[in-house]
């Protein structure tokens, strides 16, 4: 049973409490923009590096462009591995064999891609959780010193939105047992029966296990581009994009990263954000944020730092001023 029922209620900035984290922002949606903003949080990324991103269903149109990631790895993180886990649903990423074919189809061939649960899974502790004391994640996460969580921020059919929390909360859990722990009540015929606040809370507890494991050596980048209300797991069947492109944010604080991304969407004119906000609120996705705060995963207040303009402190409204309607 869910701990709260506030997942459809947006909390304005002036109603939040606590400390502020630093969140960097650029409007530069390009390989150079990604490299520039990564440099601001790169101090956390050392040793053998894993980059967790969504490699997508076959020919999915909205995933982070491969050339951006290629440029980042080649110039700034040589030797980094892209990491993924197998999907819970039966489709083109359900098994390692199918997943590798999809990875090749989508062009992720310029760096090693490690399917973390290919050789099994391992339990990471969940500190302070309500649902879990441990979460089963892909075993190969143990092979890395640092984790860059590189996320295409968008909507999500179950979570309302998919940010850094979803990227690792679902995306590092192993494809059979870990993801089932989050999505399914044991014995239920519907594998997606856990919804709304309880789903958000379970997902956040799973993410916390990975955040705690890499403490001090984890960083978060959200790319607010091609933001369909659908997740990249829907591939070519994703709903058309109608929300304007905004930019890229980065932080060492997972909650601040996702909260700032949500705030940027809410700061758009209503005619531009209506569909994505409706998706977030109808799924009670805002509980991701309040529960991450309750778990001590970060701050929902932040200093939004405009790296395009001398590191000026700006508001989300400043950041989205002048955005153009989406043109696919």
Cβ-proximal residues to 276 (8 Å cutoff; 6+ apart), any chain? 155, 161, 227, 229, 243, 265
7 falls within a domain: no
285 falls within a domain: yes
Q: What is the pLDDT of residues 52-101, one digit of tens each?
A: 999 988 888 999 999 999 999 999 999 999 999 998 877 778 798 999 99
196 and 285 Cβ atoms separated by less than 8 Å: no
Q: At 169, is the pLDDT very low, low, confident or very high (cuts 50, 70, 90)?
A: very high
Mean pLDDT of 165-170: 98
Gap between the Cα atoms of 195 and 48, Å rounded: 36
What the block records as the tokens of 148 is 């860059």
* Spatial CA neighbour of 191 closest among 200, 201, 180: 180
Cα 323 from chain centre:
23
DSSP 177-207: HHHHHHH--TT-S-TT---HHHHHHHHHHHH
Gap between the Cα atoms of 248 and 164, Å rounded: 13
326 falls within a domain: no
What the block records as the tokens of 34 is 């990604």
238 falls within a domain: yes
Gap between the Cα atoms of 243 and 261, Å rounded: 13
91 falls within a domain: yes
What the block records as the tokens of 315 is 């508001």
2 falls within a domain: no
Query: Which pLDDT value is given to residue 254?
Result: 99
What is the span of the domain harbouring residue 32? 13-319
Query: Which pLDDT value is given to residue 193?
Result: 96
Residue 107's CATH number: 3.40.50.11440
How many domains does the chain fold into?
1
Q: What is the pLDDT of residues 278-307, one digit of tens each?
A: 999 999 999 999 999 999 999 999 999 999
DSSP 228-258: -SS-GGGGGGSPPP-SPP-EEEEES-HHHHH
Mean pLDDT of the chain: 96
Query: Which pLDDT value is given to residue 180?
Result: 93
* Spatial CA neighbour of 182 closest among 54, 270, 173: 173
Quote the percentage of the chain above a pLDDT of 90: 90
324 falls within a domain: no
Q: What is the pLDDT of residues 117-162, one digit of tens each?
A: 999 999 999 999 999 999 999 999 999 999 999 999 999 999 999 9
290 and 258 Cβ atoms separated by less than 8 Å: no
The residue to which tokens 């790296």 are assigned = 307
43 falls within a domain: yes
Rounded to two decimals, what is the model's pTM?
0.97
What the block records as the tokens of 295 is 């778990």
């Amino acid at each position: 049973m869910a701990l709260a029922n506030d997942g459809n209620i947006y909390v304005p900035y002036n109603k939040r409490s606590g400390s502020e984290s630093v969140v960097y922002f650029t409007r530069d949606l390009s390989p150079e923009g990604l490299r520039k903003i990564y440099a601001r949080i790169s101090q956390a990324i050392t040793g053998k590096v894993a980059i967790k991103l969504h490699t997508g269903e076959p020919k999915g149109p909205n995933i982070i462009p491969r050339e951006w990631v290629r440029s980042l790895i080649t110039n700034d993180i040589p030797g980094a591995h892209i990491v993924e886990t197998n999907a819970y649903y039966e489709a083109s990423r359900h098994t390692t064999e199918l997943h590798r074919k999809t990875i090749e189809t989508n062009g992720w061939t310029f760096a090693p891609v490690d399917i973390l649960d290919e050789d099994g899974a391992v339990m990471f502790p969940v500190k302070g959780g309500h649902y879990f004391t441990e979460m089963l994640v892909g075993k190969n996460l143990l092979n890395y010193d640092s984790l860059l969580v590189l996320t295409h921020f968008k909507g999500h059919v179950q979570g309302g939105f998919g940010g850094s929390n979803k990227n690792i909360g679902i995306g590092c859990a192993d494809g059979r047992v870990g993801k089932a722990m989050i999505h399914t009540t044991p014995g239920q015929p519907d594998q997606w029966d856990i919804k709304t606040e309880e789903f958000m809370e379970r997902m956040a507890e799973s993410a916390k296990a990975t955040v705690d494991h890499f403490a001090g050596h984890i960083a978060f980048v959200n790319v607010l581009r091609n933001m369909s209300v659908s997740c990249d797991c829907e591939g070519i069947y994703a709903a058309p994009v109608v929300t304007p492109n905004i930019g890229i944010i980065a932080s060492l604080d997972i909650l601040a990263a996702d909260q700032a991304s949500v705030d940027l969407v809410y700061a758009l004119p209503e005619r531009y954000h209506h569909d994505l906000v409706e998706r977030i609120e109808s799924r009670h996705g805002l509980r991701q944020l309040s529960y991450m705060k309750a778990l001590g995963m970060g701050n929902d207040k932040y200093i939004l730092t405009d790296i395009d303009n001398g590191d000026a402190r700006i508001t989300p409204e400043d950041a989205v001023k002048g955005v153009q309607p989406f043109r696919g």
